[in-house]
Structure 1
Amino acid sequence: MTAVQGTAVDIPTEDGIADAYLAQPGDGAAHPAVLLFMDAFGLRPHLRSMADRLAGAGYTVLVPNLFYRAGRAPLFDLPDFIDPQARPGTWKQIMPVMQALTGERAMRDAGAYLRWLAASPAVADGPVALTGYCMGARLALLTAGTYPERVAAAAGFHGGRLATDKPDSPHLVAGDVTAELYFGHADQDHSLPPEQIDRLEQALTEAGVRHRCEVYTGAPHGFTQADTAAYHREGDERHWSALLDLLARTF
C-alpha cells in the first residue's frame, strides 16, 4: 500500500459547483481513475477512507458530493455511527434531497465529473472505472450506459431499483454498455427484490455485456458502509476483493 494524498476539490458542472474529495497515490504520477458514487448518507469520512484505500492500491479516486445543489458536504446532521432506526429523522432529512437528484441531472453531472478527470494531471489517459454504493450503484450503471466511450468498468454494491418496470430504469441502458460490469447484491434487499435481480441479469446477458452479478448471502442493504448499522464485515471484505479484481483486469 503506497502513501496517499487526499485533497478537497471543486468541480464545475452545468448547474453549479460540486465539492468533491480526490485521493491519489503520493508519487506525483498519473494513475488510472476511479469515480466513486456515494450512498445517500453523502460525502463523509468513511467514503474518504474508502477512496484512500483505492488510492493506496494505485488509483486516482474522485468522490463527488452528488447533492451539491443542496449545499456543500456535510449536508446532514449525522452521528459518527449511523443507525437510521435509532434516529428516524435522518431519512426525513435525506429523502427530499435524494429525490431531487433525477436521472437526467445525475447524468449531466456525471459528464462533468468525467470531463474533470480527463483534464486532471493526476489521471492517466484512457477510460475510467466506476464504483457505486446503494443509490450510487444505480448511477454507476446509468453512467456506463450514458458515457460508454469513457467507462471501461463499473461496479455496484447493494444497489436498489436497478431493474424496475419504469421507463427510466437503469437496466434499460444495457444495450449501450461496453464496459465490464460487476454487481454485489445484498441478500433479501427490499430495494432490489429477486425479480429485479433476474431482470437485470437477463438484460445484461441479452445485450452481450461482460458482467457478473452475485448475491451476498446474509449481507444487508448497505453492507459495505462501516460507519452504519448495516455493516457486514464478510460482505465488505468480499466487496473489496471483487472490486480490486475488476480494477486489476481493467487497468
Structure 2
Amino acid sequence: MHMKNLAIQAADGGRFNAYVALPPDQTGPGLVLLHEAFGVTSHMRRMADRFAEDGYVVLVPDLYWRIQPGVELSDAEFDRAMELYQKFDADLAIKDIEATIGTMRKMSQHVGGVGVVGFCLGGTLAALAAARTDIDCAVSYYGVGIANHVDELKKVNIPISFHYGTDDEHCQPEFEAMQALVDAHRDNMSLKMYPNVGHGFANDDRAFYDLSAAELAFTRALTTIRSAIGPKFDIESIWETHLYHEFVTKNAAETLKTMVENPYVNIAPTLTGGVGHDMLLRFYKYHFVDVHPEDTRMISISRTVGVNRVVDEMIMCFTHDREIPYLLPGIEPTGRYMKVPMVAIVSFKGGKVYNEHIYWDQASVLVQAGLLEKNGLPIMGSEIADKLLDKNIRPNDLMMDIWATSEGKPI
C-alpha cells in the first residue's frame, strides 16, 4: 500500500522527503500526517498505512529536514528529540506543510479534499495549519503549546478536533483555555478528553500507549475527517451483504469477499472464529455458514451505525436439531427451541469488514439446552429474549427478595 518516499520542493528552495501510503483502490481524499518530536518513525508510517486502509492518500513529510534529514528517534533518544525540538522553526514548518498539501493536490491518486492529522509537535502544527493553510479539516493529538495560539485559532472555521489524555503532564495547563476555545466554536471544533491516560497515548511504540483510548481517538478522528472530505462508505449495506451470504446463500467465499484481506472474527462466549483469511474461510465454510437449523431466523432489536463500526443487537431463534459448533460445540442435538439474544460489534476498514466481536449469554444457552439447571443460580433462559421483545415483562425476579426490601421506601 505504500510507495517509496516522495520528494517535495520547498517554497524557499531545497527538497524534503515524505512517506507515501495509498488506499486499496489507489485513489482517495488526501491526509497529511505530522510527526512527533521523534521524526518520521515506524509508528508514523503505521498510522499512515492505517489511514490509507480507510481510503486516504497519505503523505508524512519529514519536517526536520532543515536541521537533519531522516530523523527517526525512540524514547531512549529523548534528549536528542528535545534538542531538535528546541531548534525547530514552526513557521517554516507550516510553509513545508503548505508545500506538502500542494504536492498532494497534484498527485494523480488524490481525489477530493485534504485534511491534516498531527501528534504532539505535529498536533500543534495541525492546529496552525487549520489557521494558516487551505486544508479542509484537522485533527490534533496532544498538541503542546496550542493555547499560545488561541487568538489565531479563533478564526478557524473548518472542522477540527483536539484529543488529550487527562493525565498529560505536558498539556494540562492548556486544558482550560482549549475548553473555552471549543465552547465558543462548537459548530466546527470539538475537544475529546481520555481519562487516566497521558501524553503520547496513541503511539504504540511508547510506554504511555493506551489501546482503548487510541482506538476511540482514531474513530473520533475519522468522524472529523469524513464529515469534511469523505470518503463515504455504506457500511450498513456491506454488513447486510455479509449477513446475506452467511445465512441465505451460505457461501463462505462470498462472505469473505465482504472483508479485508486479513480479517478476524472473535465469538467471545465459545472462543471460536478465526484470524486471517485462510483460517476464517475454513471456519465459515465448515463450521458456520452451513450449520444452522432450517428454521433459524434473526429478529432485529436495534442497530447503531457509526463512522467505522456497526453494532447489531438481535435474537437468533432456532430448533436445536443439529450440532452448532460455534454455539454449542460438541453437544448433540437436543431438539429444543431456543432464543438467543446476541450482540455483534463489527469494525470496518474502508469499505470492507475488518473484524467482528460477537457476544451472547452462554448460561442462557445452556439453560435452554437443558445442560444447566438454575438451582438458585442468578441465570435465565429464554426469558432474556422475551424481555427484549416485551419491555412490560416483570423485571427483578432474580432479586425478588432484595427488591421487596425497598418496597415503600422514599424515592
- TM-score clears 0.5: yes
How far apart in 2 are the matches of 1:19 and 1:5? 14
Q: What is the aligned partner in structure 2 of residue 37 from structure 1?
A: 34
Partner of 1:97: 84
Q: CA, structure 1 residues 72+204, in 2 after alignment: closer, same or farther (shift >3 Å)?
A: same
Question: Unpaired runs of 5+ in structure 2?
Answer: 231-411
Output aligned runs, 1:92-241, within 5 Å: 92-125=79-112, 127-147=113-133, 150-163=134-147, 169-193=148-172, 195-206=173-184, 210-241=188-219
Deviates more, 1:201-210 or 1:178-187: 201-210
Partner residue of 2:20? 22
Which of 1 and 2 has greater Rg? 2
Tell me how far 1:110 sits from its aligned partner. Answer: 1.6
Q: Which of the numbers 34, 47, 68 marks the counterpart of 1:50?
A: 47
Tell me by how many angstroms 1:209 deviates: 5.3
Q: Please tell me the residue identity of whatever aligns with 1:173.
A: E
- Counterpart CA distance in 2 for 1:205 and 1:106 is 29
The one-letter amino acid paired with 1:113 is: T
Farther-moved stretch of structure 1 (61-70 vs 9-18):
9-18
Q: Is the 8 A contact 1:131 1:140 kept in 2?
A: yes
CA-atom RMSD, angstroms?
1.8
> Which one has a larger percent strand, Structure 1 or Structure 2?
2
Q: Which ranges of structure 1 fall in alignment gaps of 5 or more residues?
A: 164-168
8 Å contact from structure 2 (residues 165, 199) kept in 1: yes
Give the secondary structure class of the aligned counterpart of 1:52: helix
Secondary structure (helix, strand or coil) at the match of 1:54 reads helix
Q: Which structure's relative contact order is higher, taking Cα pairs within 8 Å and 6+ residues apart?
A: 1
AA in 2 matched with 1:171: V
The equivalent residue for 2:302 is none
> What amino acid is aligned across from residue 107 of structure 2 in structure 1?
S
CA deviations over 1:68-102 (Å, ceiling 9, x no partner): 112321x25x4xxx4x3xx4xx2221222222222
Per the TM alignment, residue 243 of structure 1 is displaced from its structure 2 partner at its CA by: 1.2
Q: 1:176 to 1:15 in 2, by over 3 A?
A: farther
Deviations 1:159-185 (A, max 9, x none): 21110xxxxx23222233121111111
Change over 3 Å in CA distance of 1:219–1:15 after alignment to 2? farther
Q: How many residues align?
A: 228
Amino acid at match of 1:160: V
Which amino acid letter does the alignment assign opposite residue 179 of structure 1? I
Q: Percent identity?
A: 25
TM-score (norm 1): 0.84
Deviation above 4 Å: which 4+ runs of structure 1? Answer: none
CA distance in 1, matches of 2:216, 2:13: 37
Work out whether residues 174 and 209 of structure 1, in 8 Å CA contact, stay in contact via their aligned partners in 2: no
Do 1:172 and 1:203's aligned partners in 2 also have CA atoms closer than 8 Å?
no
